[in-house]
């Protein structure tokens, strides 16, 4: 017996080291949503410009030149056929109900005295106007270039202003900043649209502007040379491609002046700090025999002024140097449209960077094929780790995803788990961008996924603090742990803008399960973290090029221009009104300028979500090109549509359908107007809140405003986001439209140059009647409920006391008298 125990003890001693070698440590560093800029950022999320030496050579900078499509002038022929483009096939049409169908297509236009039947449903369907039968080539609209001084001035100024925040706005969700832009799907045309229902005879009204301005002022002496073309150059260009590849041009300058002094800033993050810290952690981990992975959850592309000026090059170069083992796709990576996302993915593929997304069906977008994988297996020192990419199914709703179909991420991940297990992977990571709450729900169901690395929702996780080091709101601990399946599954995420680098260290047992994990907080990349000199040198060069263009002074404003989303997403604001006016001016000047008043653009609309979510305003004083790109960073294309009055009303109903519904997140769908006046009654249910709409009176030679006529067809300008059915405007997909191919920042740039100085104030274009807008949080409702509860409690307590004090004795005496009678 003693011999048997000694043999067993010896076997146990031999097995102990074998078991310990089966356990291993995995270190994962991760980041997401670095799109804001690749350089440093301040704690309040405002840009962090550093002092840079003057340029010794002239840099080559991509320009943002785009060209409008050519159009010929409309005639009085009713719409009878689908818009046809020589480069883009027309979208499939759906047969509408008989009661709402305009006259059927015919080779001979009906007489001009026959109006199309008015719509009778909430979303009437109209057939797009026909192309001109003329065989002559259409001519490009031309316009004189506005006069400008020989040199353009720049100035240093603070972008934020002091003002009292409004308190009458509903709460927003954690991911309301994401917006959808679909300019890639626009059908270009018609070349000769016309509508016999519009009888307009006078010239368009002139939008409100301030008094004249002497362009030779020397108040802002720093000079830069403009490289963005005038509208004469745009009109003379022959390229109609709205997604034209950015061309290069040379910019001359004498000096580059940062917007802030380096001494006045405390700067965080930046890709060079990410690289430096990640390299340090990798070296340390590998020296201790630990497995190291560096992951990116997506969101490197678009969203800030670096992208429209420099394109995708800096993002691709940064990703390549950062050495990520895998990169997912985020919402921001689609903000400039599918064609530019394709260019981005091709560049990453050429740089041998693996991009992952398991729930993206690109059958209808063949250019996306073979540019990404669903999942991958990484073998590091014999450890097979499976990584699955995903993106939220609402990407189609929130980003410019063209015809891509997004399937259920949970189902897609489950399918890939099976495939990875069959390849021998025994630790699985899900990497991507989706809503914080949604991923939490997946965790309890995806048993075989050990680690979720998420981005896209700007969620900040931190331990042992009420707020983050930079006063961030903390959504939970780092990491969040799920025990629902008797195993530890972890969820990690860092906030946006790259101020933090996430790091999670896990001990993995022989079954591929997490046995233990670290609880250290995400690493704040403050000035004490060294910058990688090689990458920072590239960043400095990119920033010089950005500053060369963004510091160019375009014009001036006498008062601040409000572009804060806390204002513009809920009520009239000057930034959105400025863009709406600029879009109407551009359409009338360059598209319908030589048309009769009967065929001019009646009005334009612009949604609050088209403005940046940086919550910064433009102060009184100079307006730079960088200010324009910061206000409108999403590259919307100006689009002309043809809509019945009833459809226009439906557009505004959707604008406020969920206005004071705190259970439905605001997506920035609140509409701003030019050439319209809208009144809402928020006491009515959603879908019935438009009280009055007034539009420019195109039937009278005296102009003015008149009530919107439901059965009249109007030309309405808008951004490509709305025109293609983005956000809650899905019915707009079937509305006839024509893309101009010109981006919003180009139009706004020329508009400000021409009409500077600006003096925009709210003009009552959008009003609320019979109700006050809902508050930014449900505190008012909670307060009311508390007072109501107290009141009812006191009332019932008083009634109970009165009953006990007075009614009960009377009933008791009466009961006693009845008993005496019975006896």
Distance CA 488, CA 481 (A): 6
- Shared domain check, 414 and 277: yes
Same domain, 455 and 529: yes
Task: Answer yes or no: do 479 and 557 share one domain.
Answer: no
Give a yes or no: residue 107 inside a domain: no
Q: Tell me, letter by letter, the H, E, C secondary structure of 312-350.
A: CHHHHHHHHHHCCCEEECCHHHHCCCHHHHHHHHHHHHH
pLDDT in tens, 58-80: 333 333 333 444 333 333 333 33
Position 190 scores a pLDDT of: 35
Whether 491 and 438 have beta carbons less than 8 Å apart is answered as no
CA neighbor of 780 nearest in space, from 659, 662, 682, 656:
662
Confirm whether 98 is domain-assigned: no
Residues 512-535: what's their mean pLDDT? 94
Confidence (pLDDT) at 135: 34
Same domain for 241 and 270, yes or no, is: no
Quote the distance between the C-alpha of residue 91 and its chain's center: 25
Please say which residue of 539, 572, 588 terminates a domain. Answer: 539
Confidence of residue 558 (pLDDT cuts 50, 70, 90): very high
Whether the predicted pLDDT of 604 surpasses 50? yes
Please, which pLDDT band fits residue 37 given cuts at 50, 70 and 90? Answer: low
Q: What is the pLDDT of residue 582?
A: 97
Structure-block tokens of residue 419: 């495939």
- Whether residue 193 is contained in a domain is answered as yes
Of 250, 228, 218, nearest to 146 by C-alpha is 228
Tokens of 328: 């997912």
Q: Residue 735: which residues within 8 A CB-CB, separation 6 or more? A: 126, 641, 642, 643, 647, 723
Using an 8 Å Cβ cutoff, are 454 and 32 in contact?
yes
**49 closest CA partner among 257, 251, 223:** 257
Dig out the tokens for 708 from the structure. 């919107």
pLDDT, position 814: 61
CB atoms inside a 10 Å sphere around CB 202: 17
Do 524 and 599 sit in the same domain of this protein? no
Residue 727 has pLDDT above 90, yes or no: no
CB 804 within 8 A of CB 198: no
Domain count, the chain: 3
User: 195 with 686: CB under 8 angstroms?
Assistant: no
Q: Is 721 exposed, middle or buried (0-12, 13-18, 19+ CB in 10 A)?
A: buried
Domain boundary residue, one of 539, 563, 588: 539
Can you read off the two tokens belonging to residue 444? 């309890």
Nearest-angstrom CA–CA distance, 61 and 239: 20
- pLDDT (0 to 100) of residue 166: 32
Q: Which helix (H) or strand (E) holds 577?
A: helix 574-586
Print burial letters for 394-407: b (CB count within 10 Å at least 16), e (below 16): bbbbbbbbbbbebe
Give the whole-angstrom CA distance, residue 302 versus residue 340: 10
In a domain, 419, yes or no: yes
**In Å, how far are 48, 359, 701, 746, 805 from 301, measured between CA atoms?**
19, 20, 49, 20, 74
User: Is 291 within the bounds of a domain?
Assistant: yes
- Residue 410 in domain: yes
Q: Do 318 and 271 meet the contact criterion of CB atoms below 8 Å apart?
A: yes
What is the rounded average pLDDT for all residues in the chain?
73
Q: Is residue 73 part of a domain?
A: no
Q: Is the pLDDT of residue 304 over 80?
A: no
Q: Structural domain of residue 409, as residue ranges?
A: 27-48+266-539
Of 482, 517, 539, which residue is a domain's last? 539
Closest CA to 306 of 68, 28, 497: 497
Which residue has 């490009």 as its token pair?
140
Is 821 found in the same domain as 732? no
Q: Mean pLDDT over residues 195-220, rounded?
A: 30
**Is the confidence at residue 569, as pLDDT, over 70?**
yes
Token output for 352: 């041998």
Burial class (CB in 10 A: 0-12, 13-18, 19+), 142: middle
pLDDT confidence band for 264 (50 / 70 / 90): low
Which of 463-472, 662-671, 711-720, 742-751 is the least confident region?
662-671
Q: Are residues 386 and 490 in the same domain?
A: yes
Question: Which pLDDT score is estimated for 460?
Answer: 92
Provide the β-strand partners of residue 428.
386
Residue 822 lies in a domain: yes
401 and 520 in a single domain? The answer is: yes
**In whole angstroms, what is the distance from residue 223 CA to residue 548 CA?**
10
Residue 625 sits in the same domain as residue 673: yes
For residues 449 and 559, membership in a common domain is answered with no
Top-ranked range on mean pLDDT: pick from 111-115, 179-183, 610-614, 756-760: 756-760
Q: What is the CATH number of the domain that holds 348?
A: 3.60.21.10
Pair (337, 228) in one structural domain: no
Q: Assess whether pLDDT exceeds 50 at residue 132.
A: no
pLDDT tens by residue, 490-510: 999 998 888 999 999 999 998
β-pair type (705-707, 553-557): unpaired
Are 533 and 560 within one domain? Answer: no
Residue 229: give its domain's CATH number.
3.90.780.10
């Amino acid at each position: 017996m003693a011999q048997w125990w000694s043999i067993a003890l010896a076997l146990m001693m031999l097995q102990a080291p074998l078991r310990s070698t089966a356990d291993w440590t995995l270190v994962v560093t991760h980041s997401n949503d670095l799109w804001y800029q690749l350089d440093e950022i301040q704690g309040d999320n405002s840009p962090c410009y550093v002092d840079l030496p003057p340029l010794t050579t002239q840099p080559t900078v991509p320009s943002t030149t785009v060209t409008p499509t050519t159009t010929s002038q409309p005639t009085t022929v009713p719409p009878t056929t689908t818009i046809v483009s020589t480069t883009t096939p027309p979208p499939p049409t759906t047969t509408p109900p008989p009661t709402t169908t305009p006259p059927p297509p015919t080779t001979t236009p009906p007489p001009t005295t026959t109006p199309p039947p008015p719509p009778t449903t909430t979303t009437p369907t109209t057939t797009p106007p026909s192309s001109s039968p003329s065989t002559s080539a259409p001519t490009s609209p031309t316009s004189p270039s506005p006069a400008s001084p020989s040199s353009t001035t720049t100035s240093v100024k603070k972008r934020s202003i002091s003002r009292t925040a409004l308190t009458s706005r509903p709460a927003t969700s954690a991911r309301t900043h994401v917006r959808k832009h679909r300019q890639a799907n626009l059908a270009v045309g018609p070349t000769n649209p016309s509508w016999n229902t519009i009888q307009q005879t006078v010239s368009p009204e002139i939008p409100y502007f301030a008094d004249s301005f002497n362009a030779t002022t020397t108040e802002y002496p720093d000079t830069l040379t403009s490289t963005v073309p005038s509208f004469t150059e745009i009109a003379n260009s022959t390229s109609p491609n709205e997604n034209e590849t950015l061309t290069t041009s040379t910019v001359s300058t004498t000096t580059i002046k940062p917007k802030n002094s380096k001494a006045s800033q405390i700067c965080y993050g930046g890709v060079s700090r990410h690289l430096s810290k990640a390299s340090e952690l990798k070296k340390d981990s590998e020296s201790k025999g630990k497995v190291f992975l560096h992951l990116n959850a997506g969101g490197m592309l678009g969203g800030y002024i670096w992208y429209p000026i420099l394109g995708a090059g800096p993002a691709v170069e940064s990703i390549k140097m950062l050495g990520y083992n895998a990169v997912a796709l985020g919402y921001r990576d689609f903000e400039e449209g599918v064609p530019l996302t394709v260019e981005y993915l091709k560049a990453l593929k050429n740089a041998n960077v693996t991009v992952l997304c398991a729930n993206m069906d690109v059958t209808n977008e063949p250019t996306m094929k073979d540019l990404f994988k669903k999942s991958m297996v990484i073998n590091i020192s014999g450890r097979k780790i499976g990584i699955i990419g995903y993106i939220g199914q609402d990407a189609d709703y929130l980003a410019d995803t063209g015809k891509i179909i997004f399937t259920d991420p949970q189902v897609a991940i489950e399918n890939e788990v099976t495939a990875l297990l069959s390849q021998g992977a025994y630790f699985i990571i899900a990497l991507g961008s989706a809503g914080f709450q949604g991923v939490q729900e997946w965790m309890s169901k995806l048993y075989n996924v050990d680690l979720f690395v998420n981005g896209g929702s700007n969620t900040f996780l931190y331990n042992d603090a009420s707020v983050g080091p930079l006063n961030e709101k903390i959504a939970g601990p780092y990491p969040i742990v799920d025990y629902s399946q008797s195993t530890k599954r972890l969820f990690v995420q860092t906030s946006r803008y790259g101020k933090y680098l996430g790091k999670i260290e896990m001990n993995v047992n022989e079954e591929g399960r997490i046995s233990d994990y670290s609880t250290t907080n995400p690493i704040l990349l403050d000035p004490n973290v060294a910058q990688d000199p090689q990458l920072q040198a590239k960043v400095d060069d990119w920033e010089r090029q950005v500053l060369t263009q963004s510091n160019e002074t375009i014009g001036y404003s006498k008062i601040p221009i409000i572009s804060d989303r806390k204002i513009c997403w809920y009520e009239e604001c000057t930034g959105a009104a400025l863009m709406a006016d600029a879009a109407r001016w551009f359409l009338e000047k360059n598209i319908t300028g030589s048309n009769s008043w009967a065929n001019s653009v009646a009005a334009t609309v612009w949604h609050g979500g088209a403005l940046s979510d940086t919550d910064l305003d433009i102060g009184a004083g100079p307006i730079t090109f960088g200010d324009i790109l910061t206000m409108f960073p999403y590259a919307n294309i100006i689009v002309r549509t043809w809509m019945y009055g009833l459809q226009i009303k439906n557009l505004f109903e959707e604008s406020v359908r969920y206005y004071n519904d705190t259970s439905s997140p605001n997506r920035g769908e609140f509409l701003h107007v030019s050439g319209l006046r809208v009144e809402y009654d928020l006491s009515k249910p959603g879908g019935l809140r438009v009280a009055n709409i007034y539009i420019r009176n195109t039937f009278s030679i005296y102009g003015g405003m008149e009530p919107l006529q439901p059965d009249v067809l109007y030309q309405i300008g808008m951004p490509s986001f709305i025109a293609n059915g983005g956000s809650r405007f899905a019915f707009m997909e079937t509305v006839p439209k024509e893309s101009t191919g010109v981006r919003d920042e180009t139009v706004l740039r020329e508009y400000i140059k021409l009409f500077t100085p600006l003096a925009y104030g709210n003009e009552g274009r959008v009003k609320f009647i019979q109700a006050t807008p809902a508050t930014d949080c449900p505190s008012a409702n909670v307060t009311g409920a508390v007072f109501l509860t107290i009141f009812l409690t006191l009332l019932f307590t008083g009634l109970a006391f009165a009953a006990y004090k007075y009614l009960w004795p009377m009933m008791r005496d009466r009961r006693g008298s009845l008993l005496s009678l019975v006896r």
